[in-house]
Structure formats: structure tokens, C-alpha cells
Amino acid sequence: MKEQYDLIIVGAGPIGLACAIEAKRNNLSYLLIEKGALTNSLYNYPLYMTFFSTAERLEIGEIPFSCISPKPGRQEALEYYRNIHKYFNFNLHLYEEVLDIHKTEVLNFDVKTSKNTYSSKNIVIATGFYDIPNLMHIEGEDLPKVHHYYKEAHPYSFQNVVVVGANNSSVDAALECYRKGANVTMVIRGSEFTHRLKYWVRPDIENRISEGSITAYFNSNVKQIEENSVTIETPNETISIENDTVLALTGYHPNFNFLQKSGIIINDDALKTPTYNPETMETNVDGLYLAGVVCGGMSTNLWFIENSRVHATQIITAILAKQKNFN
């Protein structure tokens, strides 16, 4: 017979790790499963990304996060969360993808992965939102020169680069590419950058646009991408510009198909918010919980590390209360 865990946690990002910490501290048997590297989403962030949050707001398990500058970068965050695993020695399976979660009876789920099948009384899905990009759904988006993820600027040096988007990742990419010698054009659907833009970055991008170092088209959309050009619809006219690379940094969303296949009801609205109890984080499926950014549906800016760390305590408290009542 398969060993039955008290809890299986899907996703080993910071919030998944926080759930594992609480499970371990409360003597629950658990398994933490991650389809990629430890904190896989953070690993795939741009190399030189700086967090908006200060170090103490990224802490989990009451373990201090020490860094030189107030706002840590990607490398420091990876180091911190690696050390978290070293300290707690989690029951952790990396590079193993959860394919199916099936509730078989009260207090039992079968979890099928790319490598094995497990049994658990409870499940936490803490898979974040970074795996599936929001597509533009335009002709040419499938060309090899179009990228929905950005790592670093060097490959785009001395190239004609179009950056699509108005968020922090778009602005960071535009500024870094410009400073590595690229000819950068930004295409922004709205009339301004997002209000969530890092306050220390806003003056930089506005000044670069004002002086003409970076070209920006507001209230505009990319209409078509071709091998050597991009067609942009602006408020005044439709233009075509020479282009080598398109960085379509238009955001990402949770794996809604996976959530629905697991039995979770997704609200039928533009936000696609999954159904859960905000006090316990339990979904409409008894014993199946959500934690972290995945709770926000398309509102991926609603939850982040510093305000969803508490989900771990909420979930484990709910599981312990159920166990007590069941026994």
C-alpha cells in the first residue's frame, strides 16, 4: 500500500515552503512536490531583478533574511530559500510534476505525478502564476523572435527591441536593454505605466522617454509581428517599424485547467477567482487548500510573499482542527 501523508504541498515556492514549515512544526507527515527547481518561479525571474519588498517581508518560518541592501535581489532570495531548506530539511521532491489530483473518499486524495502516485489526507496547491503567459493572440506571436520571459539584456544588445507592457518587468527590461546598446521601443496599452511601478524606477524610465533614448507608444497595441518588423496601432496611425526581437511581457496567470481538473470551482468572471474560504483557505473540495498568488486568479497583484505567508498558518490550523474533530 502507498504511504498516506497528512498533507501534500504542490509547489515549492516561498509559500509552499512556509506551508511545509508549519506542517513540520505541527508533526504532520507531508510531502513537498515541485515540478522544477526549488523556488522555480524565482529562479526564472530576470537575473538582476530587485524585489519591491524589503528583506524582512520575504522571511518565512521566523528565519531572518539578511542582505546588504534593504531590497534584496533574485540571487539573494535564492540563497535565502536554499538555506531555509538546509535548515528544515524538507521532505522535498524536485523536478516532479503533479499531473492529477483525485479525491477518492473523505480524507483521501490520490496524487499522480510524472514519477509516482501518492496518497494524502489533504492537499495544498501553492503553484503561483508564473508558468503561463498572457498571450496577445496576434499574427506572428509564435515566431522564434518573440519571448514572453526575459532573463538578461546581453542577447539583445545592438538589436531593435520592442517591449510590450507597462509593468515592472517591462520597464526593467526596457531600461536594461537600452543600457546594453539596444534600440528600444515600448508599446503600452494604457495611457501610463502601472501605479505599482517601483518608485525608484519611474523617474528613470520617464526621463529616458522624455529625452528620446527610449521610444514609447501609449494607448497603443501590437497588431502584427513579422520576421523583420512589427506593426503598431497608435491613437493617430498604424505604423510599421524595423524589429529583431519582441519581449511580450504582458503578464502571466495560474494554471486554471489544473485547478478545475482538481475539482475547484473557478468563478465565471474576468478575474477567474478560484473558490476558497478566506479564513481557512479551503476550496469547495473538502481537504483541498490554496495558498499564495494562485488564490487571486487573474489578479496576480493581489497576493505576494509578504501578505500570503499567513496562508500557511491558516491552512495548518484548519487541518489540525479537522483532525481533532474527526478523531
> pLDDT tens digit string along 233-274?
999 999 999 999 999 999 999 999 999 999 999 998 889 999
* 126, 256: one domain: yes
Q: Is the pLDDT of residue 293 over 90?
A: yes
* 244, 196: one domain: yes
* 109, 158: one domain: no
Domain boundary among 197, 227, 248: 248
How far does CA 316 lie from the centroid of its chain? 23
Q: 196: domain range? A: 135-248
Q: Is the pLDDT of residue 327 over 70?
A: no
* 91, 235: one domain: no
Q: How confident is the model at residue 22 (pLDDT cuts 50, 70, 90)?
A: very high
- Note the pLDDT of residue 209: 97
Rounded distance, CA 177 to CA 191, Å? Answer: 23
154: number of Cβ within 10 Å: 12
* 90, 163: one domain: no
Contacts of 257 (CB under 8 A, 6+ apart): none
Domain boundary among 206, 227, 248: 248
Q: What percent of the chain has pLDDT over 70?
A: 99
Q: How confident is the model at residue 325 (pLDDT cuts 50, 70, 90)?
A: confident
Q: Is the pLDDT of residue 8 over 60?
A: yes
* 142, 164: one domain: yes
- Note the pLDDT of residue 121: 96
* 212, 285: one domain: no
Q: How confident is the model at residue 141 (pLDDT cuts 50, 70, 90)?
A: very high
Domain boundary among 201, 218, 248: 248
* 175, 191: one domain: yes
Asked if residues 33 and 12 have their Cβ atoms less than 8 Å apart, the reply is yes
> pLDDT tens digit string along 182-215?
999 999 999 999 888 888 999 999 999 999 999 9
The CATH code of the domain that includes 59 is 3.50.50.60
What's the full length of the chain, in residues? 327
* 143, 161: one domain: yes
The three grid cell numbers given for residue 146, joined into one nine-digit string: 518573440
- Note the pLDDT of residue 108: 92
The three grid cell numbers given for residue 57, joined into one nine-digit string: 517581508
* 23, 79: one domain: yes
pTM as predicted = 0.92
C-alpha dist (Å) from residue 292 to 18, 79, 168: 10, 21, 20
The three grid cell numbers given for residue 226, joined into one nine-digit string: 513579422
Q: Is the pLDDT of residue 89 over 60?
A: yes
> pLDDT tens digit string along 40-76?
999 999 999 989 889 999 999 999 999 888 899 999 9
> pLDDT tens digit string along 223-235?
999 999 999 999 9
* 183, 110: one domain: no
* 143, 234: one domain: yes
Q: What is the per-residue DSSP string for 163-213?
A: EE-SSHHHHHHHHHHHHTT-EEEEE-SSSS--TTS-TTTHHHHHHHHHTTS
Domains: count for the chain = 2
Q: In whole numbers, what is the pLDDT of the chain averaged over residues? A: 94
